[in-house]
A and B are shown apart, each in its own frame.
Chain A
Amino acid sequence: MSEETFMGVPRSRIDWCPTIDYEKCNYCMDCDKFCPHNVFEVRENEEKKLIVKNPHNCVVFCRACGKTCGLDALSFPDKSATTKKIKEVRKELESNE
Chain B
Amino acid sequence: MTEKINEDMTEELEKMYEGKPKPGFILCVCTGKCPGFAKMDIWDLVNRVRVELPVEYGFIHPQLCEEDGDRFLADFLKSGRKIIMGGCAPNMQYKMFRDSFNDAGMDVKKDLIPLDVRDMNTDQAFHKIEEALLKLGGEQ
Which residues of A are interface residues toward B (Cβ below 8 A)?
1-3, 6, 11, 34, 36-37, 57, 59-64, 67-68
Contact = CB atoms under 8 A, between A and B. Distances in A.
B46 to A, nearest CB: 14
B96 A3 contact: no
Interface stretch (B3-11, B34-42, B52-60, B126-134): B34-42
Contacts of A68: 92, 95
Interface residues of B, number: 18
Interface of B: 30-36, 38, 63, 65-66, 88-89, 92, 95-96, 118-119
A36 B119 contact: yes
A67 B96 contact: yes
Say what secondary structure dominates the interface of chain A: loop
Contact of B31 (A34, A59, A67): A59
B91 to A, nearest CB: 8
Contacts of A64: 30, 65, 88, 92, 96
Contacts of B95: 67-68
Nearest to B30: A59
Contacts of A11: 33
B35 A3 contact: yes
Given A62-B30, A63-B65, A64-B65, A37 B92 contact: no
